[in-house]
Every structure is written in C-alpha cells, then in structure tokens.
Amino acid sequence: MREIYLDNSSTTKPCENAVKAAEIAMRSNWGNPSSLHSLGFHAEQTVNQARETLAKALGAKKSEIIFTSCGTESNNTAITGAVNLLKKRGNRIVTTAIEHPSVLNTVKHLAEQGFEVIYLHPDKSGVINRDDIYAAINEKTILVSMMYVNNETGYILPINECRRAIRAAGSPALLHCDAVQAFGKLPIKAESLGVDLLSVSGHKIHAPKGIGALYIKSGVHIKPLLLGGGQENGMRSGTESVPLISAFGAAVEELPDINKQLNDMQSLCDYAKNVLIKTGVVIVNSKEGSLPYILNISVPGYRSETLLHFLESKGIFVSSGSACSKGKGSYVLSEFGLKQSLVDSALRISFSRYNTKADADELAAALLLATKSLRRSDI
C-alpha cells in the first residue's frame, strides 16, 4: 500500500541532505563548540555556517540569529523576554485569538501575573480587522505578537499592519511574529516585515525535530529564558546541538526557489480543492488567499477522529487540527465562525514539495469511500 503523507504542518520528513549533515556531525564533528581545541573549533565552524545560511534566508545578520530547540521555545523566549524588558513602560500585550498554543499559553501565564492581554478576533469575514489592530495598540502596549500564517487554516495575517499601528500609537512595543508555518514557504525578510522578533522551526522545512531559531533584531536586548554558560550570545545557554543545527542549515540550503514553489503549491492546492469538492461530501474551510500549503476541510456528518483513522487504514496521513491540540476541538475554527458540526468533522490537509496531484486524487477517493463505509455521527 502506497503511503501518502499529508500532515506536513505537523512535521515534515527530513530531507536527505539534512540527514547526511546530522550524521556527519555525529560521526566526525562531535566536539563541543565551546571547547578551545580543534574539535571544538570545527564544531563551532559548523554552527556558524548554519547560522549564516539561516540569516541569509531571513535577510538578517548572523548575530541576529539564536538557535533554540523548537518554535515553542522561540515563542516563549521572545514573549517573556520582551515583556520583562519593557514591563516598566507598560503592561498591555496584544495578540490574536488564533495563535499557536505556545503563544496563547504564554500570554495567559503573563495575564495571571497582572499583565493586560488584548485578543484580536477574526471579524465576520474571517479576517483580523485593521481597525481592531489600531484600537488595541496604545502607548502602554509593550508587546504585539501575531503569527504570520495560521497553522490550521493557512490564513495569512496582516503582520505588516502591526508595525504601522505601533508607530501610530507612539507605543514602545516590540513586535514578535511566529513565522513557523511561513518560513520556507513565503518569501520572508525580517526587516521588510518590520518585526523585532521572529520565530522559525526546522521540522516544518524538512529538518529534524528539536531545532528552531529566533531572530532578534540588532539593538533589541530582551532577557534570556535559559541561563547558564552563556552560549548563543548569552541568549540561550546550553551546549549547542551541532547535529541538529547542521541539519537545519542543510535543509535551508535545499529549499527550492520560494516563489516558484509557491506557484507550484497553489496549483496543487487548487487541484485538491476541485477534486475534493467534486466528491460532493467535502466543504472547504480555508479562505481564498490562504497559504496553499494548508487546506482545511470538513466532511459533515463524520467525526474528524473517525475519518483520520479510516484514512490511515488506507495509507493516507492527515490531521484533525494542530498537532499540539491532541485531538481537542479546534478553537481556531470556532474563532473563524464555523458551526460546531463543521469543527467536529474538520481535517487539515497540509502539503510539501514531495506531494503530487495523484495524492489529492487518492485522498478524494478515500473520503468518498469513508462516507459510504462509515456510520454517520450525530454532530
């Protein structure tokens, strides 16, 4: 049975170059980058080469890139660091109600400490409204955190508008962007986005799990989350994982031309939408203009988990939402105004450059078969 993997927003299969880079680092370049002997020096060179590769991809300086263990750590470091830096200048945090749990749970923790958290909600048309952004940000705002691409629907958020709103309000706020689902898929340059802090993750772009990075704009001196030996320019203490960092750099180097890949992915996503809609059993939840790497659908009358396991039995792997939700109902889809019956029957299809139109054809056929084979649920 052919395996069809359509859960790339959860994680991607490591590319061959990333696997080779990790293996070389473990077998031949296993020194501690902080050691003063030649083994340490060669390990440090490997880390710096990967840092330069990532910095170039983000249009940043090497000194602005800090390696972390994952996107969650990057988000936590950015948010808590920014708030601790600026807490004497205000207490308002502005974010959206559709952020990843690593953002929402961090700001919830800060709210319990007395910070005021303002949540931006999608309006009736399903977008974060410009006027709401301007109304939320004032002179007491110290942090604005907005994701670039929503991890469940592919909705692209108006991150550029946040910088303009911060300036208009005369706010001291730092601007953080969770770009985990956007990096490697959209052309991202930190400076043109106007962000102070930006989070990315390796395992969304065919690097291994356990490696991420945080862009910190020059001149922004946030407080570190981890304290210790002062690695990563004092921002992330702990011995660097040379194999994972090296693999991350290799995966970034292997990224295809982003604009060409985006066009190819749009073609695949449009094709998938058409064949799924033609089944007569699928409703598309993702908005037009969303990132084509992510396609959220519902099959009314059938629970997500039941559909997921049926598809798995046919060798097709999808998800019922964010991998971090562990099967819980999607707060994101509820925020976008979907009826509960559609939320309960939602599936997230997420593509990579390794997927084909034949994968979409087999998915559509399997979902049609599911509706003929499974008992409808009362949802």
Q: Mind telling me the catalytic residues? A: 324
Contact 201, 214 (CB under 8 A): no
CA distance 308 to 310: 6
Buried b / exposed e across 337-373, counting CB within 10 Å, b at 16+? ebeeebbbbbbbbbbbbebeeebbebbbebbbebbee
Please give the structure tokens belonging to residue 31: 């020194």
In this structure, the strands spanning 116-120 and 4-5 are: unpaired
Name which of 50, 36, 98 is nearest 337 in CA terms: 98
Crossing angle for the helix pair 38-58 and 242-253, to the nearest 10 degrees: 40
Chain centroid to Cα 130, Å, comes to 22
Question: How many C-beta atoms lie closer than 10 Å to residue 238's C-beta?
Answer: 15
Q: Using alpha carbons only, give the angle 104, 62, 18 rounded to the nearest 5 degrees.
A: 75
Name which of 184, 240, 182, 231 is nearest 210 in CA terms: 240
Q: Sheet harboring 346-350: ordered strands across? A: 283-284, 294-298, 346-350
